[in-house]
Structure 1
Amino acid sequence: MSKKICKVSFPVRYAETDQMGVVYHANYVIWCEIGRTSLIEDMGFHYADMEREGVLSPVTNISLSYLKPAKYGQDVRVETMVKSYNGVRVTYGYEIYAGDDCLVTGESEHVCVDAKSFRPIQMKKRFPEWDKAYKERLAQ
């Protein structure tokens, strides 16, 4: 049961590391955002368009497991997938690699809400194309 994975690669930048050249743990959250944004764009959408329509998608939970450190000078690859989706809430899965070594695994959960009221919205009603794309990612 494979799910379609979006892959994005980039070098570890010096500013992301400590004095020992090891990536500071909070930077992995930023890298997950890069992966999530790339996945959404890979599906043919832009998060900024959703915001212009008055919808936000705040993080309600995030969990990362640090297996090995990324270091300055390495190229890293973020692999992102849709792990679950129920029409309101979506969970993205992440794996971060340097070469063949898995450095970090994790997931983040997001709820789509109306920007003014912060009440959850049904994606199928407000963004039927996104709803369909998320369901297709789960079916793969």
Structure 2
Amino acid sequence: MLQTTKQLTVRFCEVDAMHIVWHGHYVKYLEDGREEFARHYGLGYYLLERAGYGIPIVEMELSYKKSARYGDTLEVETRYVPSATPRICFDYRIRHADTRQLICTARTTQVFTNAQHQLQLLPPPCFTEWQQHWLPSLASLV
């Protein structure tokens, strides 16, 4: 299982009038988690962009469990979900770092597009190489 954890502190500008994190900021927290994953496992946007591909998010699901507040330290756990289809899926768990209480769960799905933003039905060679390095058993199924 490929997984990373990113710690972040809730900033004042991220809370709403009720003094809790505004729901839209969780999307940014997921992005922070994906960027941490990319740094750790070498699956960054630049790798795909240099190869001529984009990876837009086509599906996002969030489930809010508990509110986070200004000053809270959160942990964003990002787990890669292997797929035999040409897509990148991540599951997330956002927890309060001190209490370990679950704040939010989420899942994102990204697809591959070419430079003209057309959906690609085959994974880019650089992604296949990445899979072969980190998930050799999955790469043999594709």
CA displacement 1:14-60 (0-9 Å, x = unmatched)? 11111232000011011001101111211123212311222000111
Normalised to the residue count of structure 2, the TM-score between the two structures is 0.85
- SS of residue matched to 1:130: helix
Aligned to 1:84: 82
| Equivalence map 1:1-140=2 (5 Å) | 3-99=1-97, 100-123=100-123, 125-133=125-133, 135=135
Aligned length: 137
Letter in 1 for 2:37: L
Taking the aligned partners of 1:134 and 1:53, their CA distance within structure 2 comes to 19
Taking the aligned partners of 1:52 and 1:111, their CA distance within structure 2 comes to 16
* Runs of at least 5 residues in structure 2 that lack an aligned partner in the other structure: none
Identity of counterpart residues, as a percentage?
28
* Runs of at least 5 residues in structure 1 that lack an aligned partner in the other structure: none
Normalised to the residue count of structure 1, the TM-score between the two structures is 0.86
Taking the aligned partners of 1:78 and 1:28, their CA distance within structure 2 comes to 10
How has the CA–CA distance of structure 1 residues 29 and 129 changed in structure 2, closer, same or farther, with 3 Å as cutoff?
Answer: same
Instruction: Name the structure where strand makes up a greater proportion of residues.
Output: 1
